[in-house]
Every structure is written in C-alpha cells, then in structure tokens.
Amino acid sequence: MIGMANIPTLSLNDGKEIPQLGFGVFLVEPEETARIVSDALETGYRHIDTATAYGNEKQVGEAIASSGLARDDLFVTTKLWNDMQERPREALEKSLDLLGLDHVDLYLIHWPAPERDVYLPAWEALIGLREEGLATSIGVCNFLPGHLERIIEETKVVPAVNQIELHPQFQQAESVAFANAHDIRIEAWGPLGQGKYPLFEAEPVAAAAAAHGKSPAQAVLRWHLQHGNIIFPKTNHRQRMEENLDVFDFELTDAEMAAIDAMDRGEDGRVGTHPLDGNW
Ligand code: NAD
C-alpha cells in the first residue's frame, strides 16, 4: 500500500515542515537506486536524503518520476559537494536537472571543508538560492559550533538543520546544545551507527527492544525520534524499510531512554570522518 505510514513532521526555523523520518541513499549503488527508492516510496517513505557525492541523484529522480506521487507530498534533500563550494548555483542547477525537479526541499552544504575556507561565501550563495525558490530550505552538514557561529554572525541567517553523525555511542552533546539554543534541527546521520559497532547487541538497546516486542533497530530509531532528531536510515532491503518505518506505535520509557543515553562514549564513539578532516 502506498502512503500508509503516518510519519510526523517537525517545523523548521523558516516555518517549513519536514518529515521526521526519511530514507537515506548513501552507498546505494546507482544501478540499484531507482529500484530501491521506488521500494521506499511504495513502503511509505516521503523524505529522501541524497547528495551529489552519492552519485545517484539521477536514479533518485527516476524513482520519483515513476512514483506518480505529487511533488508536494515529497521532501527531497540534496547536498553541495566540496569541490563546488565556489559555484553553488551551478551545482544546484545540475542536481535539479539530474533529479528532474524544479526545486529541492532542503539544500545542504555537505562539509565545512575548512581548509578550503569557502563555506561562508557558499552559505551566502545558498541564501540567494533559497530566495529564488530553487531550495525551499537551506542548511549544513558536519558543521562544528564555531563554523555555525561564523555563518550566523556574518549573514544573520540560521541554517534550518545541521546534519551530523549521531547515534547511541556518539551523541554530540555540544553540537546538540548549540542547535537547541539556535533553533536548528539536528539531522542524525548514521543513526544506526552505520553498522560499524555492535549496537544492536548492546544491553540497553536489546532490553528496550525486548520490552516492546520490537527489533533493536526499531528501539534505536525510536530513541532518536523521542530526542527530536530527524533520521533517514539506509537499507537496500524492503523488509527493513518496512521495519524502520514501523516505529510509531510504541514509546520508550524515561528509564529506557536514559539507559541508551548512558551509552555515549564522547569523541571515542565517532565512527565517521571528523568535520575538520572532510576537506576532499
Ligand atoms: P545508517 O546508520 O543508516 O546504517 C545503515 C546500515 O544499517 C545499512 O547498511 C544496514 O546494513 C543497516 N540497517 C538498516 N536498517 C536495519 C535494520 N532494520 N536492521 C538491521 N540493520 C539495518 O548509516 P548511513 O546510511 O550512513 O546513514 C543514513 C543516511 O545519512 C545516509 O544514507 C545518508 O543519507 C546520510 N549521511 C550523511 C552524511 C553526511 O556527511 N551528511 C554522512 C553519512 C550518511
């Protein structure tokens, strides 16, 4: 059945709404992307998170075009790659062409790439692209509080979201506090830890899952949702797409939330690239 999942939306600081749960396509092979995104849309996902760097915008666009869904019922995010930070308009126009869309719902700077030191002019350009309607909302990924302070100070425009690595063993207290103080939504990438550590076997996760008759993955996704994080777990498998959507009929208790909170390992919990190192 199409569109059966009842996915809540959150409001952004620009007044727009975003589905709190979506589908991410990092490391989805281009040859498989159209089928996988079609499966996701059929399963009920309405929010797709892609990026120029993922090399699959064209195939995401094919799935959207063949879905028959109304544009207004979809939320599509893509991202500006580092090597185009000096030419955001050209980059977004290319992305829109590949996606077959006249606007994206959210356009993000993918990394601050501080060694390039052009994220501030890139942000200024994104503000213009939003004013023109090519992107409905704009934000950033992997920005540290210092990067955010700089662009906010210089432009007075606060990103709608900061998309950062965040999962139970890496909870990013400082970035979350900064986001909360500035009305920036956190999008948690790698919400399941990218499968890089034994998250599902961890006692607090396994116990919460068992208590609610849910899978460990569902318990972790629920933990994110109850913290207010926007998430878009990635899977190639339809059964897991359905599983990852089926997280709105239970609630973790305060004690279960606290037990998963206690899994935080600070900086040692990071499994991806440090923002200062993402200068490709
Ligand atoms: P993720 O935490 O979503 O993990 C994906 C892996 O989890 C899959 O390969 C699969 O093996 C496993 N998985 C998914 N559902 C499962 C289930 N129900 N049960 C068991 N295992 C399951 O990691 P991700 O894909 O890296 O992150 C999600 C999305 O975040 C990406 O697809 C992408 O859109 C975005 N992202 C953004 C950045 C950035 O720099 N902005 C970086 C990485 C990812």
Q: Please give all residues whose beta carbon lies within 6 A of any atom in ligand 1, as ranges.
A: 24-26, 49, 110, 141-142, 163, 189-195, 217, 232-235, 240, 243-244
Whether 104 and 136 have beta carbons less than 8 Å apart is answered as yes
| Segments of the chain scoring below 50 in pLDDT | 1-4
Does residue 54 carry a catalytic annotation? yes
User: Exposure of 125 by Cβ count < 10 A (0-12 exposed, 13-18 middle, 19+ buried)?
Assistant: buried
**186: Cα separation from own chain's centroid:** 8
Q: Which tens digits make up the pLDDT trace of 109-156?
A: 999 999 999 999 999 999 999 999 999 999 999 999 999 999 999 999
Q: What is the pLDDT of residue 6?
A: 85
Whether 52 and 80 have beta carbons less than 8 Å apart is answered as yes
Q: Which of 165, 186, 192, 238 maximizes ligand 1 atoms within 8 Å of its Cβ, making it the mutation to test the pocket?
A: 192
Please name which of 227, 119, 222, 217 lies closest in space to residue 173, comparing C-alpha atoms. Answer: 227
Q: What is the pLDDT of residue 1?
A: 35
| Predicted TM-score (pTM) of this structure | 0.98
From the candidates 45, 54, 107, 119, give the one annotated as an active-site residue: 54
Which residue CA neighbors atom 15 of ligand 1 most closely? 235
Whether 7 and 180 have beta carbons less than 8 Å apart is answered as no
Which residues 6+ apart lie within 8 Å of 265 measured at CB?
169, 170
**227 assigned binding-site residue:** no
Rounded Cα distance between 151 and 81, Å, is 18
Amino acid at 263: M
Which residue CA neighbors atom 8 of ligand 1 most closely? 235
Q: How far is the CA of 131 from the centre of ligand 1 (A)?
A: 31
CA of 192, closest atom in ligand 1 = 2
Structure tokens at 87: 């030419």
DSSP 8-state secondary structure symbol assigned to residue 18: E
Q: Where is 48: in which H helix or E strand?
A: strand 47-49
Q: What is the pLDDT of residue 251?
A: 98
Whether 129 and 109 have beta carbons less than 8 Å apart is answered as no
Rounded Cα distance between 246 and 218, Å, is 7
The pair phi, psi for residue 182, each rounded to 5°, is -115, 10
State whether residue 187 is helix, strand or coil: strand
- Could you give all domains of the chain from N- to C-terminal order, each with its CATH number? 9-195+224-237 (3.20.20.100)
Q: How far is the CA of 207 from the centre of ligand 1 (A)?
A: 22
**247: Cα separation from own chain's centroid:** 17
